Amino acid sequence: MNAPSIRRLDAAHTGLAATLSTHRVLRNTYALLSLTLLLSAAVASLSAALRLPHPGLLLTLVGYFGLLFFIHKQQNSGWAVAGVFALTGFMGYTLGPVLAAQLALPGGAQTIALALGATGATFLALSGWVLATRRDFSFLGGFLFAGMVIAILAGLAAMFFQLPALGLAVSAMVALLSAGLILFETSRIVSGGETNYVLATVGLFVSLFNLFTSLLSLFGLGGND
């Protein structure tokens, strides 16, 4: 066998290995994501049913960023998976009081169902598009990061200065950015840019969580009007 044939064979083996690795990351990511969504939904439902108090902004931020830091530090160990379940369970707990407050409003159950359905449909449509077209959305990374920083600052301003109109604008902005992040994160998995399924799961879960809460806020405000 001559040298060009050997190189072509090596290239084929390399491409096959990369494809199998990508499929494995996708499979593991979606499997873990499904489990974390179920856990978060169960904790959120229990928290809402028991009317548990919200932990507050400070504790929420400390818990969220602390668990994110732990997951990134332990990303190559089994502790990272435990950290993912702890993070998603904690986020479900913080969502419970929000759902309880929404359920207390007229049409609250319908608003939650609408936001949940819209979130699921958006995720399936965007993920399916990336998987079918294999388009590269890595160019969105810097824009999405900057947009989220602006949205967080604007959200804090809306909270402290009691500006409902600004809060509505922030919810719409976060919903759009979350949709962009789903495209970005799925694209990274497909292109081989993300090979750690634990980190991929966290990225997609946080995007889905933010998308759902933003849509819940938007639909809730629309219903209250």
CA angle 168, 171, 173 (to 5 degrees): 110
pLDDT at 206: 95
pLDDT at 48: 94
82 to each of 78, 148, 205, how far by Cα in Å? 7, 27, 15
How many residues are given for the chain? 225
Centroid of chain to Cα 3: 47
Q: Is the pLDDT of residue 15 over 70?
A: no
Cβ count within 10 A of residue 129? 15
Tell me the per-residue pLDDT of 123-153, one tens digit each, with 9 for 90 and over.
Answer: 999 999 998 888 888 888 889 999 999 998 9
Q: Which residue has the tokens 């388009």?
A: 135
pLDDT at 167: 86
DSSP output for 79-105 = HHHHHHHHHHHHHHHHHHHHHHHHHTS
CA angle 203, 205, 210 (to 5 degrees): 100
Query: Where does the pLDDT of residue 10 fall: very low under 50, low under 70, confident under 90, or very high at 90 and above?
Result: very low
pTM of the model: 0.87
Tell me the per-residue pLDDT of 181-212, one tens digit each, with 9 for 90 and over.
Answer: 999 999 998 888 888 999 999 999 999 999 99
What are all long-range contacts of 97-102, with beta carbons under 8 Å and residues at least 24 apart? 97/47, 97/48, 97/51, 97/52, 97/53, 97/54, 98/54, 98/213, 98/216, 99/44, 99/45, 99/47, 99/48, 100/47, 100/48, 100/51, 102/216, 102/220
CA distance 25 to 199: 10
Q: Which amino acid is at 100?
A: A
CA distance 70 to 91: 15
Q: Is the pLDDT of residue 12 over 60?
A: no
Alpha helices in the chain (DSSP H): 3-49, 57-73, 79-103, 108-133, 141-160, 164-191, 197-224
CA distance 221 to 115: 12
Tell me the per-residue pLDDT of 53-111, one tens digit each, with 9 for 90 and over.
Answer: 999 888 999 999 999 999 999 988 889 999 999 999 999 999 999 999 999 999 899 99
Q: Is the pLDDT of residue 5 over 60?
A: no
